[in-house]
């Protein structure tokens, strides 16, 4: 199934990026508007199982919702022998 066929089947305009998901990856499907109940059902019944079969987790966001993850990074101790940049 290509993206144009899927757009017609679901009744929404879809865009696709080239993805190579690996098992355990999380795929996020974003829809900019609120899905109608029949569109949501078609998406859940037809698209989600195909993506899940790849071993991916799937999250569907609609109505402009977005998810962002900001990971906390451990800071390494400051190396006191390293030169320090000075503002000019």
Domain presence at residue 25: yes
Residue 8's domain spans which residues? 3-61
Contact 57, 26 (CB under 8 A): yes
- Give CA–CA dist 53/38, Å, rounded: 22
- What digits encode the pLDDT tens for the residues 20-45? 778 888 888 888 888 899 888 988 88
* Domain-located, residue 36: yes
Give domain status of residue 40, yes or no.
Answer: yes
67 located within any domain: no
Task: Evaluate whether residue 85 is within a structural domain.
Answer: no
79 within domain boundaries: no
The reported pTM is: 0.53
Q: How many domains does the chain have?
A: 1
Considering the domain boundaries, does residue 76 fall inside one?
A: no
SS3 breakdown of the chain: % helix, strand, coil, rounded to 5? 30, 10, 60
DSSP 42-69: HIIIIIHHHHHHTT-EEEEE-TT-----
- Is the residue at 50 inside a domain? yes
CB neighbour class for 68 (10 Å; exposed up to 12, middle 13-18, buried from 19): exposed
pLDDT higher than threshold 60 for residue 82: no
Query: Per-residue pLDDT averaged across 61-70, rounded?
Result: 76
């Amino acid at each position: 199934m290509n993206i144009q066929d899927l757009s017609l089947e679901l009744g929404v305009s879809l865009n696709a990026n080239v993805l190579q998901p690996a098992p355990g990856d999380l795929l996020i499907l974003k829809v900019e508007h609120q899905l109608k109940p029949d569109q949501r059902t078609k998406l859940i019944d037809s698209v989600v199982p195909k993506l899940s079969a790849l071993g991916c987790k799937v999250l569907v966001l609609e109505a402009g919702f977005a998810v962002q993850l900001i990971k906390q990074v451990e800071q390494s101790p400051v190396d006191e022998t390293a030169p320090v940049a000075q503002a000019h």
